[in-house]
Structure 1
Amino acid sequence: MQDFIRQENIALFKTRLADPRIAEPERAVLLRLLAEEVTKGQEPQLATAGAGLAVGSIHHVASVARV
């Protein structure tokens, strides 16, 4: 159930971010929320060798939100 909710949240955030009329403060919040949801889905993978790349990608998304 949690995975379904996470996937739906990610889809919603991506849809909202695709709207060119969105204000920058709202875009920043949506990017932060998207990064959090993606991170939630990768937590069990943190013990794997490729986890550093996945976490780095999340940090990139989060840093874009601060710009």
Structure 2
Amino acid sequence: MKVYRFLTGPDDSSFCHRVTDALNKGWDLHGSPSHSFNAAENKMYCGQAVVKTVHGKDYHPDIKLGEQ
């Protein structure tokens, strides 16, 4: 089974740490990162899709993707 997550967060080192943590847990980058500006907060936000192949499991909408 292939699983997908879209990580989001403020454009700071905490976001980079979340992506780095996912990579070290076997997730792979999928596509390019995205950026958006929240004018109400005057802040930039980042997003990055990650994917992972998980063997021996079947998809169910209740699975916790971050725990795979």
TM-score (normalised: structure 2): 0.28
Structure with higher strand content? 2
Q: Counting helix residues as a fraction of each chain, which structure ranks higher?
A: 1
Which structure's relative contact order is higher, taking Cα pairs within 8 Å and 6+ residues apart? 2
**TM-score, normalising length from structure 1?**
0.28
